[in-house]
A and B are shown apart, each in its own frame.
Chain A
Amino acid sequence: MKSILLTTVAVAIIGGGILYGERLAKDKPRDDGRVVITYWEKWSAFEKEAMEAVVNEFNDSQEKIFVKFVSVAGISNKITLATAGGVPPDVAGLFGGNLAQYAYHESVMPLDELAAESGISPDDYIPVYYDMCTYRGKLWALPSTPASTALHFNKAILREVGWDPENPPKTIEELDKLDKLAAIKNGDKMERMGFLPTEPGWWPFAWGPLFGGQLWNGYDKLTLTDPDVIRGYEWFGSYAEKYGSGTVQSFKEGLGTFNSPQNAFMDGRVATVMQGVWMANFIEMNNKDLEWAAAPFPTPADRPDLVNPTIIDLDILVIPRGAKHPKEAFEFIKFVQSQKGMELLCMGQKKNSPLKKVSKEFIENHPNPYVQLFTDLAYSPNVIVPPKTPIWPQLSQEIRTATEKINGGTDPKEALQDVQNKMQPLLDDIVKYEKARGVLTEEEIAKAKAGGKP
């Protein structure tokens, strides 16, 4: 009797567990009959809140669609798995640099038709941002928030070392000079540097292009050992060489995380830093009293043609393949693309707008006093954009490893040759496949040969 009772209880608990688990996995329909679309986004904190405000605005304006906003960490892997598993969200917010990979595998939907129907035109956007949403002639995404970068400098340190704080370095040579002046070395330890190429170290691919080198020809050949690329990495490596690679590494490791008062730039341990449009906001949060300004990043003195370089970052919205409500999903994306939606979002995230048309209030009320500079830089002919190729996730990691090797004393040419040798065959496979599928057309190749830049 007792054992029957026990068995019954056990079966009941397990059954309950199964049923409850199943219920959790189901989407709950809404009482008002609106179509619920799921939107996965990578952001956290205030960036997430800014997008939530846009989502709320959209939901309030709607009677047919309801957007369920979900914040997801490690979104790149997650979205691949969910798409492969047949349970993708309806909209996903991804990193623009990875778009080529999604487009190549067609794991996101082409948006050309939906965009045309909605009257969204390439002419609405700053060219570089729209271009980042395309791959092999098709549109696969639309921007959420864009960014560009500039040199941020600590005016107090410049003044302290006798540098005119209104006149930051314009050439790489001047930057090196400023670094020499501002650096403080105490025995084996660095206490301050004028500039540190690995702080924050988010764009290891940018140093070659900064010196005019191209990482590839735009369609089938990597050119990582191009003399200009190597020159960029020689300069990058010169900082570890100058002070000793171990010393610089220890210094770097002692620096606090980006979003904290211990951030190297915020607490005055580096005098200048390459940072994005978001930096002003973090300075405001973590060290209000910092006396700082922003200017275009310096260029080599012998390359005046490269002035106003800027690294372009873009967050994008996509509709994963297999999404249950693509039409409704695009309704929401369209709302984000409107000037109103976009300015609400970009203002909330303290970034510039990817749209050409910007309201006066946006610039005037923007919390970043240099928002105009960042907007202008996005129009620069010398924008630095990650190569639009499906091998980018791996290539960027390989380049990062190469920069670690260069910092450890390896010859830049050798380190880059390794990457070239490893990655070129992978690109070859992709080009072969794309040509066979007719995706890589003569028109595309001609465009790449013409410079590839928008």
Chain B
Amino acid sequence: MDKKEFYIKSYCTIENGVIALNGRPVFQDDEKDFLKFIKSAYKSLEIGYPKFYKMDALSKLSFIAADVLLDHEKVMPEDEKNIAIVFSNKASSLDTDRKHQASIEDEEGYGASPSVFVYTLPNICIGEISIKYKLYSENSFFIFDRFNAAHLHQYAESLLKTEKADEVLCGWVDVDGESYSAYIYLVSQKGEIQHKEEEIYRLYNN
């Protein structure tokens, strides 16, 4: 068996108006409306990626979390890298599905909008991150009732041990109506926090 050990190199959370990187807040805003909150975060963090404005709520949440983390790790789009992405959530793309359905039912509107429709899948948020960072890597999106560290742990270990990826960006990105939460972490051969279920839960519950 491969005895290689893996570590959580960095992690980022977005919850209750706070964006935190490795436990330290990098942005805070009391704004309760998620879309307004995430837009002011985008501006304040000086991300400068206009495609952001076209994204749906789940993609905006996932994209900002990933960008804060990958920027901190100095990952550049032009670099050769093999970072897999394994995300999960509970609400799938329901938040956008509802908007899409409402646009279909709106008799006075113009009907379904392709720009909303393309986001009616949860894994599109992985696509947005892959497009910005030019990640041609393995990716997967799972729907769970609640945060499932065991599954993410096993999946990431498998990708790393079989050398399908050099690093894995894992986590939970969920948007459902008013509520939102993101917790993503980068699993790597380097780092100080051991890649273990308990540690994944510990950071999640922090």
User: Does B bind A?
Assistant: no
